[in-house]
Amino acid sequence: MNKVDLLSLEPGELEQVIVSMGEPKFRAKQLFSWMHKGVSPEEMRNLPVTLRTRIAENYRTNPVRIMEERISKLDGTRKFLYALDDGNLIEGVLMHYHYGNTLCISTQVGCKMGCRFCASTLEGCVRNLTAGEMLGQILCANRKLAETDGGHVGNVVLMGSGEPFDNYENVVRFLRLLHHPDGICIGMRSVSLSTCGLVPQMIAFAEENLPVTLSLSLHAPSDEIRRSLMPVARRYTMDEVLDACRNYVEKTGRRVIFEYALIHGINSLPEHARMLAGRLRKLQCHVNLIPLNDVPERGLKGVSEWEIDVFRSALEEAGISVTRRREMGDDIEGACGQLRRHYLKQDGDRMLTGEEQ
């Protein structure tokens, strides 16, 4: 029997479920609070035993569990391989900074955007995640932190597998649940959302009153280069994408972050930096340079330290705010999609060699 995912429900919807079970309305607020602490029904101490039993038997309070955890010996970064109720796998990365813990979560099982430099898109998109499955990733991480150092996730980045705006309704629902005062209650200024540039959704999102930090996967200084790397660039030009970014800045007052993966021989030359600066001038923004992890399946290679320094200097000289992304979790397949692909390949190899079924 498929159990109803209660974690995806807003308080009013949860109240309807509780009333349908013959319970008083106030039980919904208690249940909501318990679920967002990541506890099982058995641990919800102020609920009647009969209600806890019915919830455990008929509903799902967290549709996510950690299947494997890897901890980096280099910087303490944790990589989680999450298992979903239907057997699908997703990933999350927990990073420790001086200002707190940041969790990178997935919004889809896989991705269909087809960006050449991204491992999570190689198997395509299986399905969207529910709001509860996104929340569940955070709750599992919080439980792990509570077992070790007593900490919790304070910052969330929607930069794992999937394109958030390709799962627009579930992502917006997730953000509202994430910010709810009776739940995890993480402020929107502690959330970053990364998109490859779905312009209509970017424009709609600016009206949602959810002032998260918008990160745009730009990765190119021109339409020609961007189209060679990102299929979405065949639908929306750089001018259209950058206009949507300007609209977001105007509506929210938040600067936009441009993610730029440096790829040897394609977008990493000083003239590319100068072209990029020309595009971004007078736009309230910051550029985050990302040294590419090699993607052998696509024939793409990263850049040298010298190339990174030259590119960054060219942007700085043009007055563009820029930093280099700190590389974390290199020894635990920290990059998006790597661990999931490892498991999928393992399963495929076992089937080919007759180890299963």
Active site positions, annotated: 91, 336
Listed residue (217, 246, 247) closest to 231, CA to CA: 217
Q: Work out whether the CA dihedral 221, 224, 227, 233 comes out positive or negative.
A: positive
Task: Quote the CA–CA distance of 104 and 160 in Å, as a whole number.
Answer: 6
Q: What are the φ/ψ torsions at residue 188 (nearest 5 degrees)? A: -65, -25
Integer Cα distance of 65 and 76 in angstroms: 21
Task: Note the maximum CA span of the chain.
Answer: 68
Q: Which amino acid is it at 278?
A: G
Dist CA 242 CA 235 (whole Å)? 14
Q: Which residues, at least 6 apart from 334, have a Cβ–Cβ distance to it below 8 Å?
A: 72, 77, 79, 93, 328
The SS3 call for residue 134 is helix
Do 234 and 240 contact (CB within 8 A), yes or no? no
For 120, counting Cβ atoms within 10 Å of its Cβ (0-12 exposed, 13-18 middle, 19+ buried), the class is buried
Q: Name the pairing type of β-strands 256-262 and 213-217.
A: parallel
